Amino acid sequence: MAKVTDFIVIGSGVAGLRASVALAESGADVTVLTKDKASESNTEYAQGGVAVVLSDDDNAELHEGDTLVAGAGLCDEAAVEVLVTEGTRYIKQLIDWGTEFDREAGKLIFTQEAAHSRRRILHAHGDSTGKEIVRSLIARAGAEPTINLLPFSATESLIINDGRCVGVRYLDPILRAPREVFAKAVILCTGGAGQLYQHTTNPSVATGDGMAMAYRVGADMADMEFIQFHPTALSVEGAPRFLLSEAMRGEGGILRNVSGERFMERYDERLELAPRDIVSRSIVAEMRRTGSRFVYLDMMALDGDFLRERFPKIDETCRYFGLDISKQMLPVSPASHYCMGGVRTDLWGRTTVPGLYAAGEVACTGVHGANRLASNSLLEGLVFGARAGEAALENESIHMPISEMDPSAGSSGTASEQGIATAVRKRVKRLMWERVGILRERVSLKRAISELEQIASSGLSTSSANFVMLALLVSRAALWREESRGGHFRSDFPESDPSWRVHSVQRIGEDISGADTVDF
C-alpha cells in the first residue's frame, strides 16, 4: 500500500535538511528521500566555506554588490537581497545548533575568496565546511521525531494529480522495487548536475534527476546554459578531479603554466582572484597556447605548517597522490562544478507546478545570475531551504485521499533500471565536455543537440532518459543565447550583449523564451 506523509523532501544536503527542520518544527510529518547515505551530497564536498556578513568591516550592501558583479548583470536583485540580509541570521542559528566554524582566540576566522571585496568566508576544519554543516544539520534533524530519513531511496518520478504535485515514486532500497509516497507538497532539494560532464568535482549522485523530473511534469526551467567550471581541479592521471578550493588562491596561491611562468596577468588585472569563469577560460587558453593538459597551482611561498592546518583534507589527498602542497606545484585544470540554472522558483521556493517547491542548486532563484559568487551556494541552500519549508506549510490544510488519485497522472515513467546505463552516461558526458563545455559555438552545439536527440529516441529507461533530457536542456539554452555572459562563453559571440540581459525559460512542449526575472 502507498505510504502517506505530510510533506516529502527529496535530498539531504543543506537545503533539504534545513527545509525538513522548518517543516518539522510545525509538528508536520516529513519524509526525506535520498538516493545515497544521508550525508552524501554536494554540500558535503564544499571545501572553501560559506560567505556571510558577520565581520566588523562588512555589510549586506557590500556582499550584495559583490554578488551582482559576479553574476554578470543577470542576478535578480530581490533574491540577492534576501540572501545577504537573511543569511546572517541563519548562520548564527547554525552556530547555535552546534556548527563549529574555525576560530582563533575564540573569534571566528574569515578568509578571502575570488571576487569578494571583504574577508567574509567562514570555514570549518580548514577545508571541510560543507561536511561540518551537514553533520550539524543531520544532528538537528535527528532531534525532530517527525522527520523520517530514507537513505538509498532513489526518486524516479513525481506524481501529479489534477495539475498538482501530490507525491513521488521511488525505488525501495531493500526490495529494489518501485514504491509510492503521497503528501500535501513536495520539496526538491536534489542538488546539481555536474555529472553531465566528463570532468567534474561533483560526487556521483549529482546527476540532475530533480531538474529533469520537474521539467517532465511541466515546471519551468531557467538559465540552464549557465554552468560554472571550477578553475582548479587536481589533474593527475588516475586520480578523481578533486577540488582544490578557491580559498587556496585567496590565501595567495599563484597559477603558473607548464614552463613555470605566472600567466593570469595576460588575461585579467585581478589575476588569480578574478571570477571563476574568467580564470577557467584563462587556464584553457593557456593550456592551448602551451600545448599542455594542465597548469600549476603554486602554494610554495606559504608556510607549510599553515597550509597543512588551513587545508588538511586537500593536503591529505594530495599526499595520497604523491604531492606535497608546500613543496611542489600542483597540476590543475578546470572541471564542471555548479549549475546556476535550474527549476524556476519565486523567492519562497514555489515552482510553476502547484504543490512542488525547490531549493538549493536544483532551483534557479536568480541569486547567482550568470556566474555564482564563490561560497554563496551553502548560504543559498540554507536561506532558501528554510523559506521553501515555511512556504510549503501553506499546504497544511490540503487533504488528498489516495482513493481519489490517479497514481500515473503526469508522472515521468514507471520503474527503471538501477541507475543510468553506463554506455549512455559515458557517451553523454563526453559529448557535453567536448561540445557544450567551457568554450561553445553554433556548429558544435547543433551537433551535440542532434546526437542527444538521437540518443533520446532510442528507448531509454527513466533514469537514462532524465540524464539525456537534462543534457538537451543545457545544450538548447546554450545554442539559444547568442552572446557570452558569465559561465556561458560563445566563441562565435564573444561579447556580452545588453539585449540578452534576460533569463532563458524552458517549458515542455514550448520554444525557449526570455524573461526579465526568474521570479514569477
* Residue 134 domain flag: no
Residue 26 · residue 201 · CB < 8 Å: no
* Residue 305 domain flag: yes
| In the block, residue with C-alpha cell 556580452 | 496
Residue 411 pLDDT more than 80?
A: no
Task: Give the C-alpha separation, 128 to 138, whole Å.
Answer: 16
Residue 418 pLDDT more than 60?
A: no
Q: Which of 249, 276, 372, 387 is catalytic?
A: 276
User: Strand runs (DSSP E) across 264-319, as ranges?
Assistant: 295-298
* Residue 440 domain flag: no
The model's confidence at residue 296, banded by pLDDT at 50, 70 and 90, is very high
The model's confidence at residue 415, banded by pLDDT at 50, 70 and 90, is very low
In tens, the pLDDT along 49-68 reads 899 999 999 999 999 999 99
In tens, the pLDDT along 316-359 reads 999 999 999 999 999 999 999 999 999 999 999 999 999 999 99
Task: Identify which has the larger pLDDT, 74 or 247.
Answer: 74
pLDDT at 1: 58
Residue 375 pLDDT more than 60?
A: yes
The model's confidence at residue 204, banded by pLDDT at 50, 70 and 90, is confident
pLDDT at 444: 97
Structure-block grid coordinates of residue 82: 534576501
pLDDT at 408: 41
Lowest mean pLDDT among 33-47, 338-352, 407-421, 490-504: 407-421
The model's confidence at residue 412, banded by pLDDT at 50, 70 and 90, is very low
pLDDT at 47: 57
* Residue 248 domain flag: yes
In tens, the pLDDT along 461-509 reads 888 999 999 999 999 999 999 999 999 999 999 999 999 999 999 999 9
For residue 288, what is the domain's CATH number?
A: 3.90.700.10
The three-class DSSP label of residue 496 is: coil
Q: Which domain does 255 fall in, by range?
A: 228-337
Residue 435 pLDDT more than 50?
A: yes
* Residue 516 domain flag: no
* Residue 258 domain flag: yes
Task: Identify which has the larger pLDDT, 40 or 459.
Answer: 459
Cβ-based neighbours of 125, under 8 Å, separated by 6 or more: 100, 102, 131, 132, 312, 313
Residue 271 · residue 265 · CB < 8 Å: yes
**Could you give the number of structural domains in the chain?**
1
* Residue 162 domain flag: no
Percent of the chain clearing pLDDT 90 (strictly above): 78
Residue 237 pLDDT more than 90?
A: no
The model's confidence at residue 404, banded by pLDDT at 50, 70 and 90, is very low
The sign one gets for the Cα dihedral 361, 365, 367, 371 is positive
* Residue 318 domain flag: yes
Q: Mean pLDDT across the stretch 374-402? A: 89
The sign one gets for the Cα dihedral 432, 433, 437, 442 is negative
Residue 129 · residue 46 · CB < 8 Å: yes
Q: Mean pLDDT across the stretch 429-445? A: 97
pLDDT at 401: 53
The three-class DSSP label of residue 339 is: strand
In tens, the pLDDT along 156-170 reads 899 999 999 999 999
Active-site annotation holds for 435 = no
Q: Across all residues in the chain, what is the average pLDDT?
A: 91
Structure-block grid coordinates of residue 31: 519524509
Lowest mean pLDDT among 83-97, 125-139, 425-439: 125-139
C-alpha closest to that of 58 among 123, 120, 103? 120
